[in-house]
Amino acid sequence: MEGADLRLLMTVGGMLVSVVSAFVIVKTKLSGVIEQLGDMEKRLRKLDSTIDKQHTAIETQAQRTHVLSGMLEPSKREKLHRSLERNKVEIEHLRRDVDAHRREYLSAHNGKHPPVPSEKDKTDD
């Protein structure tokens, strides 16, 4: 029986060595996988941040485009042009009135203003 016990011990010892070596190999590979997983997580966080920034930039541009399209809307442009034309007509009308009043003023004094008596002349009376 000693031969059988020795064989049993050798078999158990071989199995134990196989299990320990497999454990060491798995531990080594697992540490590599964990390191790769950490690197991938960092990359994903960086990509997520970049995507967020791009999303914000796209939303900002969309809002600006919406504002500009509202400003350039044909009905608003037409209203603005009509208002500008009314202002031009009103300015021309006011310019004609001012010129007419200026001509009237200059013709009333014959181009010269009559002398105004000074304060000293008034007290001498």
How far is the CA of 18 from the CAs of 11, 22, 64, in angstroms? 10, 6, 68
Q: Which two tokens stand for residue 22?
A: 């497999």
Mean pLDDT (the chain) is 88
Local structure of residue 118 (DSSP, 8 states):
P
Cβ–Cβ under 8 Å, residues 70 and 76? yes
The pTM of the full predicted model, rounded to 2 decimals, is 0.47
In this predicted model, what pLDDT tens digit does every residue of 72-115 receive, in sequence order?
A: 898 888 999 999 999 999 999 999 999 988 888 777 766 666 67
How far is the CA of 46 from the CAs of 32, 43, 54, 56, 98, in angstroms? 21, 5, 12, 15, 69
pLDDT of residue 65: 94
Cβ–Cβ under 8 Å, residues 48 and 42? no
In this predicted model, what pLDDT tens digit does every residue of 60-78 receive, in sequence order?
A: 999 999 999 988 898 888 9
> Band of the pLDDT at 22, cuts 50, 70, 90?
very high
Which of residues 5 and 52 earns the better pLDDT score?
52
Average of per-residue pLDDT across 6-32: 91
